Amino acid sequence: MITRKFIKYTLGLSSLIFLSIPHLFAQDGQNKTSVSGGGSFWLEPLWATQIDPRWKAGEVLGDVEDGITAEFVEFSADGKLLVTGNGQGEAFVLNSADGTIKHTFTYITEEEVSSLDEELVSNISGGFTKSLEAECGAFTPDGRFLVLGGNLNGIKIFDLTDGSLFKHIEVKEEVDGLNISPDGRYFAHASFRSVNVLGISNWKIIQNVGYGNDSRGSVVNSIDFTADGEFMVIAGNAGNVMLVRTSDWNTVGDGLIPDATSVKSVRFSPDERLIAAGNGGGEVTVWRTWDMSLAFQFSSMVYIEAVAWSSDGRYLLAGGRDDGEGRILVFRTRDWQMVGNPAVLADGASIEYIDVHGNIVAIAGEDAHVRLYRIKTLHQ
């Protein structure tokens, strides 16, 4: 956890075991990318669940063109469930053991979209084809509520005890990002040039935190909290990453990525000493939390949509698209060497989101699938 004392000191990286990735599986589980080294780390495919029936293997599709996608995937606190959403206004709760769909929820319908102002619909990122997308979601730590956000219907909160709609919060902006603090105190979601923070005890707004400006953009794409809820990090189209202290909601750090088209994803490391972000320019950037100084930056892919840390903090995963394939970059955090670059999705589909629970990795992509992998390591 980050403390005030922690922020006063420079923190070094932990000493880590040298590993590489000799085997990483592609979409069909067969095409393997080999990287030599003194040890091994690979992803073992467990299951794949398609959540939009319109996608067909072999067709080159993308969510901007046709709205076919699995836009996000998040584990529940106990790792037993996953939530994901598609481009048809639907969200699904999956059993993480086998990928079966346990519950289906409606975020928005075609009838609701048709009743909205045409200019409002056309002005969202990607236009009409993205109007039905469920963009983000999360479980409360106690597992009672499911929170969903999207491009046109604000926030919907469902009670998982009976599946009923508990609360609908109108938001006059795309809700491209949201998160819930692991300690169960705060729920934060994207709003107009800002983030609204609500107390989960009563689901009422306690703070609005400004983000962005007219010249660089203002849409918030990603939000994360430290485990104790003492710090929040925000990223979006303005091209910077803001570190906010929740005791007074002041900005205590700001990491700017020059010329970044949009920061798509931001995450604290498990020990909270680092903050990682991926942007639309294909860059992975890591800052030291205590002063937001640059720790690492790598540019390779066409664009990066998602970043996630392994649970032990030894690896940083970044996903997006490169050379017409959805790929994952894997960096060893001891020395920031890239030790893997496997193709996970084909047919021009990008990786949209990555979440990690224990040694299990969940991936959502433009091919409308959620895929689960087990991290495997072998010391030699």
Domain regions of the chain by residue span: 4-379
Strand order in the sheet with 186-191: 178-180, 186-191, 194-199, 204-210
The pLDDT score that the predictor gives to residue 359 is 94
The residues, ordered by sequence, that sit 6+ positions from 179 with a Cβ below 8 Å of its Cβ are: 138, 187, 188, 223, 224, 225
Say whether pLDDT at 124 is over 90.
Answer: no
**What share of the chain has pLDDT > 70, as a percent?**
80
The pLDDT score that the predictor gives to residue 60 is 55
Third-level CATH fold of 4-379: Methylamine Dehydrogenase; Chain H (2.130.10)
**In angstroms, rounded to a whole number, what is the distance separating the alpha carbons of residues 192 and 55?**
32
Q: Let me know the angle formed at the C-alpha of 370 by 128 and 19, rounded to the nearest 5 degrees.
A: 125
DSSP state of 3: -
DSSP state of 32: B
Pairing of strands 337-340, 325-332: antiparallel
CB atoms within 10 A of CB 173: 18
Q: Considering the chain, what is the average pLDDT of its residues?
A: 83
Which of 357, 251, 364 is CA-nearest to residue 306?
364
Mean pLDDT of 208-234: 88
**In angstroms, rounded to a whole number, what is the distance separating the alpha carbons of residues 320 and 333?**
19
Which of 191, 226, 224, 222 is CA-nearest to residue 208?
191
Lowest-pLDDT range, 35-44, 144-153, 180-189, 334-343? 35-44
Encoding tokens for residue 99? 């990928």
